[in-house]
């Protein structure tokens, strides 16, 4: 049974229904908490090894190629490293250093900090 099926079954058994709420533009429920935890663990280890967020000095293209390298190693069967997590971290770093959606995100965070976002 998939996680979504388990959640649906639980909701039905406990009388949980949809509640009228505003549409969510970003459905964070689709993100895997375990995957996010592994990303955070990897980024924390990286911070300990390379203090000062030095990854921000690396061009996005280099991060992207390092992500590709990790994916290729994973696809070749190399299980000696957490290649999917490392590739995910490198994709995040490439995204961040490319400046993509930075203004949108900063605006969202400013609104959040000022309490302007709806619950």
Please report whether residue 90 resides in a domain. yes
Compute the Cα dihedral for 63, 65, 66, 67 and give only its sign: positive
The boundaries of the domain holding residue 80 are: 27-113
Please report whether residue 16 resides in a domain. no
Question: pTM for this structure?
Answer: 0.66
Helical pair 33-49 and 83-98, crossing angle rounded to 10 deg: 80
Domain count within the chain: 1
Please report whether residue 5 resides in a domain. no
Higher pLDDT, 90 or 117: 90
Please report whether residue 118 resides in a domain. no
Task: Report the 10 Å Cβ neighbour count for 82.
Answer: 15
pLDDT in tens, 16-25: 666 556 666 7
d(CA 70, CA 48): 21
């Amino acid at each position: 049974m998939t996680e979504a099926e388990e959640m649906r079954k639980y909701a039905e058994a406990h009388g949980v229904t949809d509640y009228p709420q505003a549409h969510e533009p970003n459905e964070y429920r689709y993100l895997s908490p375990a995957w996010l935890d592994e990303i955070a663990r990897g980024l924390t280890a990286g911070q300990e090894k390379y203090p000062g967020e030095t990854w921000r000095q690396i061009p996005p293209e280099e991060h992207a190629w390092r992500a590709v390298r990790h994916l290729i190693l994973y696809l070749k069967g190399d299980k000696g490293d957490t290649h999917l997590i490392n590739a995910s971290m490198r994709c995040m770093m490439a995204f961040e250093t490319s400046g993509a959606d930075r203004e949108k995100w900063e605006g969202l965070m400013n609104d959040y900090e000022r309490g302007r976002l709806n619950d």
